Structures are given as C-alpha cells and as structure tokens.
Amino acid sequence: MPSLSDSSKLSEQAKRNQRRSMLLAVIVLIVAGSISVWTSNKRQDHEAASSPATQDLTALWVWGGEQLEGGSEAGEWSIRMDAEHVGSGGGANLEKLALRLLDEKSTEAGNLQDKASLVRSGHPRGYEGTLAIRAIPGEKGQSWLLLYTADLNPSKDDLVAVCRFIERTLASEGLAYKISTRVRGQTSREDAAKRVAKLAQAELVEQYKDNGTISQTYYTDQLLQEVELREGVKANLQIARFPGRSPRAYTLVVGTPLITGDYSGQQ
C-alpha cells in the first residue's frame, strides 16, 4: 500500500504532467497561428507583386528567352505606360510624379530645373534603368506617357518589381493606365517567331511583310491584356523579325499586347 508521501509525490507528478500538456497545447496553437499568418502574408505579398501586366511580362520572358541568343537576360526590355486622370479633382502633375517616381540624384542635369519642359527622366526610385515621364496636354485634360528602359542584363524579378512600383504609384495618383511590354534581341533561328507563337498557343490574326521585315499579330488566351484591332477582332501578342547584321542572323522583337514604336528600338 503506497504511503501518504508516495501519494503526494504522485499527485505532484500528475500536476506537472498536466501543466506540461497545457503548455505544449499553447505552443502548438501559437505555432499554428504563426504559420497561418505567415501563409496569409505570403499570399498578400504575392498578390501585391502581381498584376495582369507583370503576369504577361513573365510569359514574354519565358517565350522569348528560348529564342534569343543569351536568353531573356540578353534582350533589350522596355515597358510603356499610357496614363490619364480619372474622376474629379486636379489629379497628378509632372513635378509630383517626378518626385514620387524618380531618384533625384540620378535625374539628368537640368532636367528638373527646366520648368517649361514637359519631360522628366532619371532612374526609378530604388531601381536601375531609366524612366522618362512625358506630360501630354490635351483638350480633355492632361495625359502621360511613361517609358521605362531596363539596363543591360536585367532579371525578371527586377522588371516585375519596377513595373509594380510604377503601377502602384500611378494608381495612388488617380491615374488609369495601359501597359505594353517589349523585348528586342538577336536570334539565329529563322523560325523564331513561329516558335514563340507555338509556345504561346497563339492564333494568327494578321501579318505583313515589307523589305525583309515580317510582322505577325496574334491572339492567345495565355495573356491577360488585349486590344481591339477592329470590331470583333482582338489581339495581345505581336512578333516581328527582320534581317540582322550578318547572314543567318535576325533581330526578333516581341511585344504584348502590341509592339509600340518602330522595330529599330525607338518607342
């Protein structure tokens, strides 16, 4: 028969075991809650870092990279945004946009001092590359053309990040915008355009040939943005190929939803 002392020891041991069980349960709840919050934050971060334009940019990075010499990193990347004010109120002005978007230290000499100029340019704040902001006065109010040109050998993540930075800034200023993305590079594949279209699962909408240049416009449900070429006809992928600097060398230009500007590199 256990003594009173033994019973007391057993009772204390039971209490300690109970406390350990309760502590373990609390730890499990805390860890589970932390995982839930972390997962939620990761999901929010992903959503914040993604938009139709950046998802299309990512697709372009994959499709073009398989055709360009040196991959997508070797391509010349540019992102164009056409913006206009929506709603009531004065909206943004050139100086305010430049202040929010551009790194003052990188701004071209005299760029911000020339108040009469309708263009401001410099590095995007916190990013590499060059961002030019042009104010376009019009009868219906001010509109804006923003052109970002990446430095050599950009990464996909950097392109996505700077695109989202500009998008968020424009949205916070009450500006509606349309985005087009373009990559230009060299390829030795004569059928490079055909390969891109196949990867995109795209259907040809129209094409033309002129002095060695072949331009083809497609529609694919793999991209989120689109434009209406004419009534009932939509497009969201354009591919151009023209002779390069040497035999069996070609310049390939791919844009979504369309290639903006001419194919030589100007927008």
pLDDT band of 224, cuts 50, 70, 90: very high
42 part of a folded domain: no
pTM of the model: 0.77
Number of structural domains the chain divides into: 1
- Give per-residue pLDDT as tens, 158-196: 999 999 999 999 999 999 999 999 999 999 999 999 999
Residue 69 domain flag: yes
* Residue 129 within a domain: yes
142-171 mean pLDDT: 95
4 falls within a domain: no
Quick check: 111 pLDDT over 70? no
Considering the domain boundaries, does residue 14 fall inside one?
no
What six digits make up the tokens of 114? 């020339």
User: What is the span of the domain harbouring residue 161?
Assistant: 52-256
Q: In the chain, pLDDT over 70 holds for what percent of residues?
A: 72
Is 193 part of any domain? yes
- Residues 162, 263: Cα–Cα separation, whole Å: 23
Judge whether residue 145 has pLDDT over 90: yes
Which residue(s) pair with 243 in the sheet? Answer: 250
Q: In this predicted model, what pLDDT tens digit does every residue of 33-49 receive, in sequence order?
A: 443 333 334 333 444 55
What dihedral do alpha carbons 125, 121, 176, 60 form, nearest 10°?
-80
pLDDT at 70 over 80: yes
In a domain, 122, yes or no: yes
Question: For residue 47, is it within any domain?
Answer: no
